[in-house]
Amino acid sequence: MTARILDGIALSRTIRAEVAERAAALTARGTRPGLAVILVGDSAASAVYVRNKIRACTEADIHSVFDHMPADTTEADLLARIRELNADPAVHGILVQLPLPPHIDERLVIETIAPAKDVDGFHLQNAGGLLTGTPLFRPCTPYGVMKLLEHAGARLDGAEAVIVGRSNIVGKPQALMLMQGGATVTICHSRTRDLAFHTRRADILVAAVGRPKMITGDMIKPGAIVVDVGINRIEEGPDAGKLCGDVDFASAVEVAGAITPVPGGVGPMTIAMLLVNTVEAARRFAG
């Protein structure tokens, strides 16, 4: 038996069509949703992601502002720009693409974004809100994973969920969301002693590591739902230049009950949830 493929492109299309309808309704009432995206420096990968976000906005008739700032932008200049956008009534969501150049304090940048415009859900107020149950915005990637699981009909209540990765933007918020959904959650990371021992117990396995194909079929419980958040660029060999996940798809698909592909799984869902958050920000602004 091979696993069912969880199609993130199809689901993200459905969600973006709903977003477009809500955006049009808000625009008709006088508030056109707006998203500002700031990119500092010229990482090729970041430029691709940012372009995809802007294109998704355009397709949903969401107003977008793209600020491409040079790599040597000072921290003070970036913070000043964020304060300007905080005060701009045409902008309801602000996203500063990460990572930032090393001379800029990421935490300070995130805390400068108005929590009501923090559509990434990274601000302390939203992180704390997620911990206690009532954030203004949920981080887009784990939020998108929850939507994929819901759409797949996954039963969270009482399920064993294992997350590999403990970052602030994926692993930790994912753990909180799955726990709130009723799962028993285990978080693994680079200090975990016997990774396969944990992953083999998972009914729901989420890989968010950044290591190509590290989760192999023998680490997966037969029938498990496997969600691959990893986005890795293959460096050499016949597939050089292509994307792959943290899961070794070829061996995993033979064992899992359902699995997300890379590309075409979690990535498109992240962008869809960014639009959901932006329209929600505009809806609140409109009152």
Ligand X SMILES: Nc1nc(=O)c2c([nH]1)NC[C@@H]1CN(c3ccc(C(=O)N[C@@H](CCC(=O)O)C(=O)O)cc3)C=[N+]21
Q: Which residues contact ligand X by CB under 6 A?
A: 48-49, 52, 95-98, 120, 140, 231, 243, 262-264, 267-268, 270-271
**Near ligand NDP by CB under 6 A: residue from 93, 165, 173, 261:** 165
Residue 100 DSSP label: P
Which residues belong to the active site? 53, 97, 120
Residue nearest to ligand X (CB): 267
Distance CA 270, CA 108 (A): 23
Torsion of CA 157, 159, 160, 163, to 10 degrees: -70
Report in angstroms how near the CB of residue 189 gets to ligand NDP at its nearest. 4
**Near ligand NDP by CB under 6 A: residue from 34, 121, 171, 181:** 171
187 known ligand binder: no
287 known ligand binder: no
Residue with smaller CB distance to ligand NDP, 26 or 165: 165
Distance CA 233, CA 15 (A): 27
Q: In terms of C-beta density within 10 A (0-12 exposed, 13-18 middle, 19 or more buried), how is residue 275 classed?
A: buried
Residue 6 touching ligand NDP (CB under 6 A):
no
Beta strands in the chain (DSSP E): 4-5, 34-40, 63-69, 93-96, 160-164, 184-188, 204-207, 225-228, 232-233, 243-244, 258-259
Q: Which residues are annotated as a binding site for NADP(+)?
A: 165-167, 231
Name the residues that contact ligand NDP, by CB under 6 A: 141, 164-167, 169-171, 188-192, 195, 208-211, 229-232, 266-267, 270
